[in-house]
Amino acid sequence: MPSFKINPFSKKNPDTGFGAQASNIGGRFLNKDGTFNLHKRGIPWLNRTSVYSYLLELSWLRFLGLILAFYLIVNSLFTCVYFLIGEDQLQGLLSKTSWGRIRELFYFSSQTFTTVGYGRINPVSDGADIVASIEAFCGWLFFALVTGLLYGRFSRPRAFVSFSENALISPFKDGWAFMFRMVPYKGNHHLTEARVNVTISLLLPNDDRPEYQFFQLALERSRIDMFNMNWTVVHPIDGESPLLNLTEEEIKQTDLEVMVQMTGFDSIFSNQVTQRTSYTYNEVIWGAKFKPMYHESADNATTILDLNKLNAFEKLDVVSKNDWKAM
């Protein structure tokens, strides 16, 4: 465990909601995408899983793939049912081969499931009528649920904010600062009253046993009125900073993680939105600065914001990392 002491003037944050016992915590607290690095168990899976939330949070590719897979599976099952009750209970089948008839039954199932019903193939007995009625009802429920999910996905407020992959330790004014930057990447999404809260976790000895301690990082600016360009969030490493006088190796020993939570008001959804991320000690670059992201257009009539430069930085010719305490 580290033998150094953290700046006693640092402001602690006991209200993070994260555990403190190092032996019971594995990995980082927050994943890079803002989700919590937490797996819950102990009660049945169905009781601790929200299917609705899961379907809303899936990527569009996986969501559409799941809908298509469910559609094909359900129609395949009903095709088997029609085949088992007998093809003679349906009229209009034209194919003479077994595979051709199965294919026609599948298409009849899909037409019934979607309530299209072209009419060439139709039930002529009670068994097929009952199955077709049940399938039509299932299809009605399926498309009602899919419509609700699509509405929920399109209407769900999101921040649409990207964070830089790395945080930097950079010269700042007459000293040094910890900084990262973020930017709203959707062209028509701009946040107002944007606020950012930054908390740092450090693994420190407490009564001869390791324990995570959390500190609130004071920021040069914790809110802005209009968040439409990139925002470099800066924590000056001053007399109240928990990073004061710590070297790169000492920060590594403390298993540093910086947790970021940004909130703002989205006027399009007329709602508050939140985005989170975190930086661990191996995602912090020492002695570097971010490259500019925006510049004037060729005709000087507008400002160009290059989103592909969000992670761009350059190393600086500064003192070595071992001389950090001397700064």
> Over the stretch 220-233, which tens digit does the pLDDT of each residue have?
999 999 999 999 99
User: With 50 as the cut, is the pLDDT of residue 319 above it?
Assistant: yes
Mean pLDDT lowest among 97-101, 231-235, 262-266: 97-101
Q: Looking at 204-208, 265-269, 290-294, 297-301, which range is the least confident one?
A: 204-208
Q: Is the pLDDT of residue 118 over 80?
A: yes
Kindly indicate the confidence band of residue 41, based on its pLDDT and cuts at 50, 70 and 90: confident
In angstroms, the CA 27 to CA 325 distance is 28
Domain ranges of the chain: 22-32+165-326, 47-155
Q: What mean pLDDT do residues 76-96 have? A: 90
CATH assignment, 22-32+165-326 = 2.60.40.1400
Reply yes or no on whether the pLDDT at 51 is more than 80: yes
Percent of the chain with pLDDT over 90: 52
Report the range of poorest mean pLDDT among 47-51, 178-182, 259-263, 289-293: 47-51
pLDDT above 90 (res 77): yes
State yes or no: pLDDT of 278 exceeds 90: yes
Q: How many CB atoms lie under 10 A from the CB of residue 306?
A: 14
Q: Residue 4: its pLDDT value, please?
A: 63
Domain 47-155: CATH architecture, name and number where available:
Orthogonal Bundle (1.10)
Q: To 10 degrees, the CA torsion angle through 184, 186, 190, 194?
A: -30
Above 90 in pLDDT, residue 50?
no
